Amino acid sequence: MTKPFSKTLTLLLGLGLALAQTPGERAESLFKAGEYAKAALAYEEVLAQDYGRFEAHLGLGVSLFRLGRLEEARFAFDQMVRVFPDRYEGHYNLGQVYLRLGKPKEAAEAFAKAAELSPTEEAYLGWASALTQAGRAKEAAEVLKKGLTPERSPAYHLALAQALYASGARAEAVPVLYGLLNREPKVAEGWDLLARILAEEGLRERALRELDRGLRAVEGKARARLLLRKALLSSRPEPLLKEAYALDPSLWEAAYLLGQARLQAGDAQGALGYLVAAYRISLEPQVALSMAVAYLRLRDYKSAYRYAEEAGPPGSFLKAQAAYALGREEEALRLLEGLPTPEAQALRGALLLEMGRLEEALALLRPLYESGRDPGVGVNLAAALVALGRFGDAELVLREVLQRAPKQAAAWYNLGLALKGLGREAEAERAWVQAAALGSEEAKALLRR
C-alpha cells in the first residue's frame, strides 16, 4: 500500500522586497494580510502601469493560486516565464499549477526548466512527481538520480526509493532505503517500503525482522503504518490491525481489513462498523464493494444496491443481486449482460427461468451446468426442463445433482414434479416426502392436498 512520494510542494513566494510604487506597496500589504482577491486586483494595477515588474507577476500568480483560480494562475505564471524566461520562480510555480490542473506532462516540462535554471531539491521533486503522475515512473527515477547530491534531504532519498520501486527497480531501491534508514531511522515510510520489497522478493521473515527494527525506532501514529504492513505479512493479522487502527483511526486500510476479517468470519454486522469507518476516510471502490456484500448478507438490499453502484464495474454482480432482491428483474437481467463469471450467468439463468423465458434459460443453463456440475445450476436447469415438459431429461439431471448434493431440497421437489410428469406417482410422492423433510414448503403443500 505504499503510495507515490508526496513531499508537499509549495509555491515560491519571494515577496520580501516592497514595491516602490504606492499600488505595489498596497498589493503586498493585502497579500500579507491574506486578502488575496484584493491583492490580485492590486497586482493587476501594478502590471497595467509596468508589465516588467517581477514581484507583481509573482504576487498575482500566487494570489490567484491561493484563491483556487487555477486557470488564471496558470496564465499569470505563463506570462511571467515569457517576460522573465531566466527566472526560476516562474517555471517552478507554473509546474505547481499544472500539477493541480491535472496536466502532468506540462508540469514536468515546467519543472525541468526550473531545475535547469536552479537545481533545487524542490524542482527535482516536482519534476519527478509530475512524471510519476504521467505514468513515467522510470523517467522519474532517472530524474531523481540525476539531481542526487550529498546534501539532499531524507525526503528526497525516500522519493528516489519510491520512484525506483514504482519503475520496477526493486533491488536498486533497497540500498537507497538502507542508506536513508541508517541516517534517519524514524522515517516510517522507509521501513514500510523496505519490508514490502523484501516480502515481494520472497524474504518474508527478513521483512518481518526489519519491521520490528522499524517499530523500535518509530514513535507515535507513524507506527500504525508499520503495524499494518506487519499484519499483511502475518498469519494472525487481526491483533496487529486493531493495534494499528487504535494508534491511527485515520488509517482506512486497517479499518477495511478488519471489516474484511469480520466478513470472512460470517459477522456482517460487526464488519459494517469497520467498513463504514474506512468509507468515511477514503471512498475507495473496494470499501464500497465490501459494504455491499455486508448489506446483502443483512438483507438491506437498498443499501447493498447503493454501495455496489459506488464500487463501479466490480460491483455489477452485487448490484444485480440487490436489484433482483428488490423485485427489479429486468434491471438485474440488464446488469448481468456481459458478465462472464459462472455466478453471474447462473443468476441470469435463474432470472430467465423466473420470468418464463424457458428456452433462453435452457440455452444458458445447460452448458453452464455441463461445465461445472454446480448443483444449484442443475436444479434450475431441471426446473426449465420440467416446465417445458421434458421430464425424462429433467430426471437424469436431478439424479446426478442428488448424487452430489443429497440434501438439496429443491432437487427432490423438482424430481417429484418430473416423476409425476412421467406418470410415476408413488415415486413422485416419495421424492416430495424427502423434500418436505429437508424443509421444502412447496413439497409440504403438495403432500397436504
Give the chain's residues under pLDDT 70: 1-22
From CA 156, how far away is CA 320, in angstroms rounded? 48
Contacts 24+ apart (CB under 8 A), 114-118: 114/88, 115/147, 117/86, 117/87, 117/88, 117/91, 118/88
pLDDT of 5 reads 37
Each domain of the chain, given as residue ranges in start order, spans 1-130, 342-448
Q: Which CATH class is domain 342-448?
A: mainly alpha
SS3 sequence, 112-134? HHHHHHCCCHHHHHHHHHHHHHC
From CA 144, how far away is CA 151, in angstroms rounded? 13
| Cβ contacts of 156 within 8 Å, gap of 6 or more | 7, 121, 124, 125, 144, 147, 148
Q: Do domains 1-130 and 342-448 have the same CATH topology?
A: yes
Distances (CA, A) of 422 to 109, 358, 410: 79, 20, 18
Phi, psi torsion values for 33, nearest 5 degrees: -85, -5
pLDDT of 447 reads 86
Tens-digit pLDDT profile for residues 349-399:
999 999 999 999 999 999 999 999 999 999 999 999 999 999 999 999 999
For the domain made up of 1-130, give the CATH fold. 1.25.40
Tens-digit pLDDT profile for residues 12-49:
554 444 444 468 889 999 999 999 999 999 999 999 99
pLDDT of 10 reads 52
Phi, psi torsion values for 153, nearest 5 degrees: -75, 165
Tens-digit pLDDT profile for residues 411-432:
999 999 999 999 999 999 999 9
pLDDT of 186 reads 96
Comparing CA positions, the residue from 85, 75, 89 lying closest to residue 10 is 89
Residue with cell 470499501: 287
The whole-model pTM stands at 0.77
